[in-house]
């Protein structure tokens, strides 16, 4: 179909398109088929190029919670405080930290459907090609969940009786994402889907442990929230996943440097500041272990 014809069609059908998205956003776009997602992706791209105004309107539609959902979220907040939830978990697993507390104070809760689910339409490898990568990822997960220290034990607890599926998608970037969703409409329970790029096993294989640890922290955070809650703290959630992910990964002896380097290479302050935070934690750990070594020395002399 020609671009002009396509644009005409989108303009024509715009009310139906937004109506469809409005139905799906309350369930975080989890029930859309990949054909439908591909269609939407094509539509976004067409509008972005040809009709910025209509694109913005579509963007508003997909990223804004329905009135009803905001009300429901506010009711949930009578028994659930997202900031407190993240702070308690962070302090339990990483320890209290001034920088994290400041990020928490500065960040503002926004209500947003999980737009990622709409954008993300991974091009997965064939099952036979996935196999060797899935084995590697399973090994990493086994290490992460069986280490006896606190953050790792927490992961083991959260994964207890969860169904886990690994999916490997095409692309050589360092990229991953955990999704916790019903794979089929008729499923009673949700499944944890750990999506990882092919790049995590090749060019970025040193970072695999840290990428997985980061993504699994999002899962633990999400699991502690009420079902259907759509409040987000976009910045703090990432600091949280980095910090606790770092603790978990470093306990298992996984490399942290490649992850930091790749994120810094993106050249965006949001990413490099997060890496500064990881570095601060690394330095604290260094000081602590030097102190512990000294204590031991003193005790034995
Ligand atoms: Zn993240």
Q: Say yes or no: 13 and 78 in one domain.
A: no
**pTM of the shown model:** 0.87
How many structural domains are present in the chain? 2
Q: Which residues contact 111 (CB under 8 A, 6 or more apart)?
A: 65, 69, 70, 73, 230, 231, 232
Q: What's the rounded Cα separation, in Å, for the pair 199 and 204? A: 6
Q: Say yes or no: 103 and 39 in one domain.
A: no
Q: How far is the CA of 219 from the centre of ligand 1 (A)?
A: 10
Cβ count within 10 A of residue 35: 9
Mean pLDDT of the chain: 92
Look at residue 180 in the predicted model and tell me its pLDDT: 87
Q: How far is the CA of 215 from the centre of ligand 1 (A)?
A: 6
The answer to whether residue 185 scores a pLDDT higher than 80 is no
In a domain, 298, yes or no: no
Q: Which residues contact 234 (CB under 8 A, 6 or more apart)?
A: 107, 110
In a domain, 237, yes or no: yes
The answer to whether residue 300 scores a pLDDT higher than 80 is no
In a domain, 33, yes or no: yes
Residue with tokens 């090994």: 139
Q: How far is the CA of 214 from the centre of ligand 1 (A)?
A: 6
Last residue of a domain, one of 41, 64, 87: 64
Look at residue 275 in the predicted model and tell me its pLDDT: 97
Q: Which domain holds residue 35?
A: 3-64
Q: Residue 95 phi/psi, 5° resolution?
A: 110, 160
Q: Say yes or no: 44 and 91 in one domain.
A: no
Q: How far is the CA of 130 from the centre of ligand 1 (A)?
A: 23
Average pLDDT value for residue range 290-294? 82
């Amino acid at each position: 179909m020609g671009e002009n014809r396509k644009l005409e069609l989108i303009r024509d059908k715009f009310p139906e398109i937004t109506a469809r998205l409005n139905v799906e956003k309350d369930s975080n776009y989890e029930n859309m088929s990949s054909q439908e997602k591909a269609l939407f992706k094509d539509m976004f791209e067409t509008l972005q190029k040809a009709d910025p105004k209509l694109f913005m309107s579509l963007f508003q539609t997909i990223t804004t919670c329905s009135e009803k959902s905001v009300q429901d979220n506010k009711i949930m907040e009578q028994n659930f405080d997202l900031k407190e939830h993240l702070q308690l978990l962070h302090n339990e697993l990483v320890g209290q930290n001034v920088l994290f507390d400041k990020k928490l104070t500065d960040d503002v809760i926004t209500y947003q459907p999980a737009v990622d689910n709409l954008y993300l339409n991974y091009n997965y490898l064939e099952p036979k090609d996935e196999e060797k990568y899935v084995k590697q990822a399973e090994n990493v997960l086994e290490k992460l969940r069986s280490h006896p220290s606190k953050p790792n034990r927490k992961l083991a607890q959260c994964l207890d009786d969860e169904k886990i599926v690994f999916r490997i998608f095409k692309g050589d970037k360092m990229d991953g994402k955990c999704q916790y969703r019903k794979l089929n409409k008729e499923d009673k329970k949700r499944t944890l889907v750990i999506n990882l790029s092919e790049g995590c096993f090749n060019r970025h294989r040193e970072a695999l442990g840290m990428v997985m640890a980061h993504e699994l922290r999002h899962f633990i955070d999400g699991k502690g929230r009420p079902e259907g809650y759509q409040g987000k703290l976009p910045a703090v959630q990432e600091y949280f996943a980095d910090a606790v992910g770092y603790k978990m990964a470093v306990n298992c002896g996984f490399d942290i440097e490649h992850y930091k380097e790749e994120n810094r290479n993106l050249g965006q302050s949001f990413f490099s500041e997060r890496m500064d935070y990881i570095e601060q934690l690394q330095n604290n750990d260094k000081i602590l272990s030097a102190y512990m070594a000294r204590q031991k020395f003193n005790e034995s002399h």
